[in-house]
Amino acid sequence: MKLSELAGIIGAKLVMPDGYSQGDDNVVTAVAPIEVAKDGEVTFVSNPEYTKYLSRTNATAVIVKEPHESCKTPMLIHDNPYFAFAKTAHLFYRPHRGPRGVSDQAFIASDATIGDDVTVYPHVFIGSRAKIGNQVVLMPGVSIGDDVEIGDNTIIYSNVVVYYECKIGSHCIIHAGSIIGADGFGYAVGEGEIVKIPQVGNVVLGDHVELGAMCSIDRAAMGSTLIKSGSKLDNKVQVGHNVEVGENCMLSAFVGLAGSCKLGNWVIMGGHSGVNGHIDVCDGAKIGAMTGVVKGIEEPGEYIGFPAVKARDWRRQQVHFKKLSTHEDRIKALEDQ
C-alpha cells in the first residue's frame, strides 16, 4: 500500500522531513515496533518515552501526533497515533482461520443451518436448529448448543462452549475456553434446604464483541444477560446472570459483575475490580484496578477504592492514611494539654 493511500484511509496528514529525497508514494506492507521497524514497515509513537527512536528508526513511516525535527522519515500526523496505528494494523493483519470447509469429523445436527464459506474444524459439535452465519470459523473442540445463533464473520476458538438458545452477533471473537450460557448462581435458601432456581433465560452478545480466554458469561434467570455491541472483555472475566454490559465497554482481567448489575456505555474497569448486584454504573465511568463498586455510580469519571469513591477523594484519603500515626501523636498531645 502506498503511503499517500494509507494517509487517506486512516485520516492522517503526510508530512515529509526536510531534505527527504524520496516521494510520498513509498510502499508499506506491515507494521512493527519503532525499535525494530525496517524499510517497508509503519510504526508509531504515542508515549513520549519513545521519541528518542525517531532519529534512528528504519521504518518507512511513523505515525505521530505532531511533526518532530529529529525524525528523518515520513510522518503521518494524527491526533490519536495509537488509534491510527490500530487501524493501520488491521489493513495488514488477517486472523488465522485455516482451510475453509467443514470437517467430516465434526458433528452437525441434521436440522442445523450452516452459512456460506464456513470453517468447521474436527471435533466441533453443532446442536439441533443452530444457525451458523457466513464466514464463521469454529476451531477444534467448540460446542454449539441447540437453537444457538451465530452471526457472520465470527471466530470462535478452541474449546469454547455456547449453551443452548444463546445468541452471538457478527464479527465477534471468542477466545479459547470461554463459557457462554452456563447457569447463573441462583438459589433460594429455606430451612435446611437450598433450592436451585431454574435459569431459563439466555445470553445475547452484540456485534463486534470480543471475549478473552476463559471468560464466563452466565445465562439469565429470566430474560437475557446482555453484552452490547463493541464491548471487549479480557481473560477470565465473570459476568453474572441478568447483567447488562453497555456498548463499547472495556473490562480487564478478573473483573467480576454480580447478578443484575448494569453498566452504561463506554465503561472501563481495571483488573480485579467488581460491581455488586442490582446496581447501575453510568456511561463513561472508569473503575480502577481492585476497586469494589457497592453502590450505584451516577456521574462519569474515575473511581478507586473499596468501597469505590471518586479518585480525587481516594488520593486525599491515602495521604491522610499515611499520616495517621502523626495525627495520633498530635491528638494525644492536645489531650494532655
Write down the pLDDT at residue 24: 56
Pick the catalytic residue: 68, 241, 278, 327? 241
Q: How confident is the model at residue 286 (pLDDT cuts 50, 70, 90)?
A: very high
With residue 76 as reference, give the H or E element that holds it: strand 75-77
Q: For the domain with range 3-92, which CATH number is right: 2.30.290.10, 1.10.150.120, 3.40.1410.10, 3.40.1390.10?
A: 3.40.1390.10
CATH no., domain 101-314: 2.160.10.10
- As annotated, the residues of the chain forming the CATH 3.40.1390.10 domain(s) are 3-92
Candidate from 47-61, 83-97, 118-132 with smallest mean pLDDT: 83-97
pLDDT tens track for 231-280: 999 999 999 999 999 999 999 999 999 999 999 999 999 999 999 999 99
User: Would you state the pLDDT for residue 88?
Assistant: 95
Q: SS3 sequence, 177-243? A: CCEEEECCCCEEEECCEEEECCCCCEEEECCCCEECCCCEEECCCCCEEEECCCCEECCCCEECCCC
pLDDT value at residue 252? 98
Has 320 been annotated as catalytic? no
**pLDDT of the residue at 324:** 79
> Residue 236 in contact with residue 214, Cβ under 8 Å?
yes
Alpha-carbon distance values, 179 to 26, 141, 157, 326 (Å): 46, 13, 11, 51
* Confidence band for 17, pLDDT divided at 50, 70 and 90: confident
- Rg, Å, the chain Cα set: 25
Domain with CATH 2.160.10.10 in the chain: 101-314
Please say if the pLDDT value at position 74 is more than 70: yes
Q: Is the pLDDT of residue 22 over 60?
A: no
Q: Does residue 152 have a pLDDT over 90?
A: yes
Q: Could you say which DSSP state residue 324 is in?
A: H
Q: Which residues, in sequence order, are CB contacts of 214 under 8 Å at separation 6+?
A: 175, 176, 177, 178, 235, 236
Residue 214 has pLDDT above 60, yes or no: yes
pLDDT confidence of residue 23: 56
Percent of the chain at pLDDT exceeding 90: 82
